Structure 1
Amino acid sequence: MVIDWGMTLRKIIVYGALFILFMIAIAFLWALGVNAYLIALLSGGFLFIQYFFSDKLVLWSTGARILEENEAPRLHRIVENLSAEMGIPKPRIAVVQNDMPNAFATGRNYKHSVVAVTTGILNRLNEKEMEGVLAHELSHVKNRDMFVVTFASFIVSVISYIVYFAFTMLFSRDENNFGASMAAWFVSMLFSNTIGLIIINTVSRYREYGADRGSALATKNPDGLISALKKISGGEYRKEDAMGLESAKALCISPTGGAFMELFSSHPPLEKRIAALEKVKAEMYGY
C-alpha cells in the first residue's frame, strides 16, 4: 500500500497542534491558581461525557434505526465483506428516514460502532457507488475518527471555558459584575464560533481525505466513490432534511450545508476530493 506522506505529515501537524493547545490550556488553568484536582475533574468529566454519550445522542437526534440483517441483506452483505477486507469487526447498520443522500459513522470503538445511511442515498446509488460510500464510513471506524473529532471538540470546549474565565477576571474585579460576565461570555462564544470552529473543521477535512483514500484502497475502485460523490454533492434538498442531519454533520460523507469559505467547512470541496481520489487511482494503477 502506498502511503501519502504529505497527507500523513499534515495530519501529524494538525493533531500535534491540538495536543499542544490542550496542554497550554491546562497550564493556563494551573497558572491562574485553579486546583489540580479540579482541572483533572473538569477535563476528565467533559471528555468522558463527550466520548461515551455523543454517539448515542447522534443516533437519537437523527432518528437512526438499527437494521437487522433480514431487513437489509444487501447492505449487511456489503458491510460484512468490506469489514473483512479492512480487518475490523462488522459494525451495526442503521437507516435514517431522510431524503438527503448521506451517510455517517459513529461509535467510540469497534464494538460500539454504527454505520448509518439515509433513505435518500439508498434510493440514488447503485451497488458500486454504495460500496464506495460504505467503505468511506468504515474507514472512519477503522481510523477511530469518532475519538479524534470528540477530542477536538473537547479541546475547543475547554479553551472556550478558559477564555471566559480569563476575560471575566480581566474585565472586572467585582465577581458579581453582570456586565463583565456577559462581555466574557460574548468573547468566549466569539472564539468558539471562529477559531474553535476552524480547528474542528480542519480536523474534519483531514478525516474526510483519509476516509476517501481508505475507501479507494479497500474497494480497489476509486471510481465508485467518485461517482457517488458527484451524485450526492451539491444537490438542492429541503431545509428540514439538512437540519435533520445537523447533529451528525461532522460525521457525514457529504456536507449538510454550505460554508462561505473553506476554513469554515467540515468537508473539502468536491473538486479537491475527486483530485485526491484520482491521485490514489494513479498510484494504484501506475499511471
Structure 2
Amino acid sequence: MAGTDKQRALITEGPAVILVEPQLGENIGMVARAMANFGLSELRLVNPRDGWPSEKARSAASKADHVIDGAVVFDTLEEAIADLNFVFATTARERDGFKTVRGPVEAAGALRKRFAAGEKCGVLYGRERWGLNNEEVGLADEIVTFPVNPAFASLNIAQAVLLMSYEWMKTGLAGDSETQFSQPEMQPATKADLQGLFDHVEEALDARGYFRPPHKKPKMIDNLRAVLSRPGFFRPEIRLLRGVIRSLDLYSRQAPKGSGAPEAGDAGAGKEVEH
C-alpha cells in the first residue's frame, strides 16, 4: 500500500566514478543505476560522445536521478581528476610500467581507508570498445583489475562499475556476512512444541484411517516421529503446521474413513527410513 513503506536513508558517498569518453547514453544510465545500488553518487563524464544531458541515460538509470542530475562533464581527463588525491584505473589488460596492481577487494579496502581519512578518491573506467589507453592509465596512482576468464576478459562498463561499487559497499559493512535485512526473530520450538505437533498429526491420521495395516502402525509412527522431530523448527512454524492439520481435520470428519491411507507399496507405508 502506498504510504506504508519504510523510508530508508539514501546513501550518497564514496569515490567518484569517472567515465572516459563513454559512447552510449544507455550505458551511462546503467552505470548510474549500479552506482546508486551500492551507495555511490558522484559521476564524472569526460567528453561523452553523444553529449550531455541525455534522456536515454536518464531512462536507463531506472530512477537513479540523483546520480544523473549530479553528473559533471569535463573536456579532459586531467580536468576530471584535478581535485582528487588518489585514483585507481580499471583495466583487464596487462600494462607495461611500475604501477601497483590490485584486485577489487583489496582496492575497495584501500579506497575506504583513504575515504575515512578525508581523501578525495576516484576510479577511472574506459571506453566501451577498448577501455583506457596507456597515457590515461598513467594518470592514475594504481591499477585495479578483475578476476575474469582470461580468454573472455572484456566487461561492459556498467558491469565493471557494478563490481567495484559492490566491493566498495562491502567495506562499509560490519562483516562479510552482514546484509541489509534479515529474517524475523523467532523463538525456537521446544520439545514440548514438537511433541504437541506429533500428537496432533497422529490423532488426525488415526481418525482418517491412515495407519493401515494395523500391525505396521508402530513403525509408521516411528517414521513420522523421525521426520517431525528434527531440530530447527520455530514456534511460528509449528503453529502454522497445526493450523493446516486443524483445517484438514474438518475434511476428515466428512470423508470416508481409510480413504487417505497409503496404498500398498507407497513410500512411507511402514518402511524403514534411512538416517
For normalisation by structure 1, the TM-score amounts to: 0.22
Structure exhibiting the larger radius of gyration computed from Cα positions: 2
Which has a greater percent of strand?
2
Which has a greater percent of helix?
1
Q: Which has the higher contact order (CA 8 A, sep 6+)?
A: 1
